[in-house]
């Protein structure tokens, strides 16, 4: 299925393209300090990053149905990236969302709008049942995104993803289609998203600040 272009107000998500490589690389370099602390790394791979090769890999996953890769725009300007990955159909029918936006677009509603648009596409066009977002405990802006959209807190995953050179704990949030019959975007825009469901229990907050005991 072709990746669509979806918009709400000044925010658009569209298929990422090879010709986005220059803008993507520019934003990654310009926002290095802003993004590095949240950047996924490969503990066994090379340190370098080939932007065009990354886009080609995302496009390949999209062709096989394993993922959907979006460029995020604000008023027509390249603002970031959103990837739907680990798509599974059948009895699981789920996927995971990851995203980033350039620092200068923070606080403008770009990320929650992009996440809502992508989640609604996965639910109502791809027919998926569950969406998941995993966030580092220190990433307050991303935690605010899932709170705004009413994603439910589901638990602490210890040393879950290799980020910025080490294995990092993540908080996991989920949403199933039955919770949003009118869509994630509409529920948020109408002020009906239950922010309290994203609340993280004190035990998990404390655990995430302590080293994992072996």
pLDDT score recorded for residue 47: 59
Average pLDDT over the chain, rounded to whole?
Answer: 94
Longest dimension (CA), the chain: 49
pLDDT over 70, % of the chain? 97
pLDDT digits (tens, 9 = 90+) for 33-70: 888 888 888 887 665 568 999 999 999 999 999 999 99
3-class state of residue 194 by DSSP:
coil
179 confidence band (pLDDT: 50, 70, 90) = very high
Q: From the DSSP assignment, how many helices (H) and strands (E) are in the chain?
A: 7, 8
Residue 39 is predicted with a pLDDT of 80
From CA 209, how far away is CA 169, in angstroms rounded? Answer: 9
pLDDT in tens, 106-133: 999 999 999 999 999 999 999 999 999 9
What is the per-residue pLDDT across 3-43, written as a single tens digit (0 to 9) for each? 999 999 999 999 999 999 999 999 989 998 888 888 888 88
Question: Does the 6-207 domain belong in CATH 3.40.630.30?
Answer: yes
Q: What is the pTM of this model?
A: 0.94
| Residue 81, strand partner residues | 71, 100
DSSP symbol at 178: G
Distance CA 13, CA 6 (A): 5
Domain ranges of the chain: 6-207
pLDDT of residue 1: 76
- The average pLDDT across 72-100 equals 97
| Distance of alpha carbon 191 from alpha carbon 195, whole angstroms | 10
DSSP designation for 40? B
Give the residue among 129, 127, 82, 112 at the shortest CA–CA distance from 8: 112
pLDDT confidence tier of residue 214, bands split at 50, 70 and 90: low
Q: How confident is the model at residue 144 (pLDDT cuts 50, 70, 90)?
A: very high
* Model confidence at 191: pLDDT above 70: yes
């Amino acid at each position: 299925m072709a990746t669509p272009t979806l918009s709400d107000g000044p925010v658009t998500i569209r298929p990422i393209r090879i010709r986005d490589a220059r803008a993507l690389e520019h934003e990654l370099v310009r926002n290095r300090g802003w993004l590095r602390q949240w950047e996924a790394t490969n503990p066994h791979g090379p340190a370098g990053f080939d932007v065009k090769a990354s886009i080609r890999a995302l496009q390949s996953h999209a062709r096989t149905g394993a993922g959907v890769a979006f460029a995020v725009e604000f008023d027509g300007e390249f603002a970031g990236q959103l990837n739907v990955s680990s798509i599974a159909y059948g009895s699981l029918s789920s996927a995971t969302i990851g995203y980033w936006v350039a620092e200068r677009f923070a606080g403008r509603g770009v990320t929650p709008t992009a996440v809502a648009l992508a989640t609604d596409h996965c639910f109502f066009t791809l027919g998926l049942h569950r969406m998941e977002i995993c966030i580092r405990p220190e990433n307050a802006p991303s935690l605010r995104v899932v709170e705004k959209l009413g994603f439910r807190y589901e638990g602490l995953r210890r040393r879950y993803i290799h980020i910025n050179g080490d294995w990092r704990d993540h908080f996991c949030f989920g949403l199933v289609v039955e919770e949003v019959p009118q869509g994630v975007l509409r529920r948020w825009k109408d002020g009906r998203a239950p922010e309290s469901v994203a609340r993280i229990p004190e035990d998990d907050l404390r655990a995430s600040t302590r080293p994992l005991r072996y």
